[in-house]
Amino acid sequence: MKKNELIPNIVGAIFLAFGIIAIINQILLKDFVAILWFCYVGLIIIGVGFLKKNKFLIKSQLNILLIPLIIWGFDFLYYLIFEVSLLNIVDYFFLPGPILSKIITTQHLFTIPLAVYSLRFIKSKTENAKLFSITQVSILFILSIIFSNPEKNINWVYHTPLNLNLPFYSVVWFIVVFGMIFITDKILKKI
């Protein structure tokens, strides 16, 4: 098997396995609404994208995840250095809890570099990946509002971890998320 076929298959299997394990873990923890997290959905779609050699699916998820996961990684490194979270994003990782949940959470650190590196081995087209990204985040926003509550705050649909008390928060949420999608899409087109 050639490298161009082997790497996407291995990477796809890794992402798909992490996504499925993440969802099963949440079901076992009886935290059903947590399966709506962008990251969990993204892991599965990225995994399928690599296994099907479909760059469109992969880029659609990178559009959603790239900036938030870079911010998460920054806050994680900050916590490792200063033993406190700067952005109140990664605190949960350092609290006592199930080890499997901690292992799954490590995907925040490798998803972007592994997916971006491995994209080079896939040659399919990616037209309008951002439209799929926008549709997906809109659907997940609605589902998160319907099935979660402000305490769970799935996908930060109720407030930011910084609790900024922004007026018209839902409008701000869409502007920020859509902005990140458009910025990431432009960046990925140049890579």
What are the CB-based long-range contacts (under 8 Å, 24+) for 158-166? 161/87, 161/88, 161/89, 162/87, 162/88
Per residue of the chain (191 residues), give pLDDT as tens.
Answer: 677 789 999 999 999 999 999 999 999 999 999 999 999 999 999 999 999 999 999 999 999 999 999 999 999 999 999 999 999 999 999 999 999 999 999 999 999 999 999 999 998 777 889 999 999 999 999 999 999 999 999 999 999 888 788 899 999 999 999 999 999 999 998 87
What are the counts of helices (DSSP H) followed by strands (DSSP E) for the chain? 7, 0
Q: Per-residue pLDDT tens for 71-95? A: 999 999 999 999 999 999 999 999 9
> 135-146 burial string, b = 16+ CB within 10 Å, else e?
ebbeebbebbee
Q: Per-residue pLDDT tens for 156-169? A: 999 988 878 889 99
Secondary structure class of 14 (helix, strand, coil) = helix
Distance CA 31, CA 160 (A): 21
The domain tally of the chain equals 1
Note down the domain range covering 91: 3-190
Distance CA 132, CA 143 (A): 16
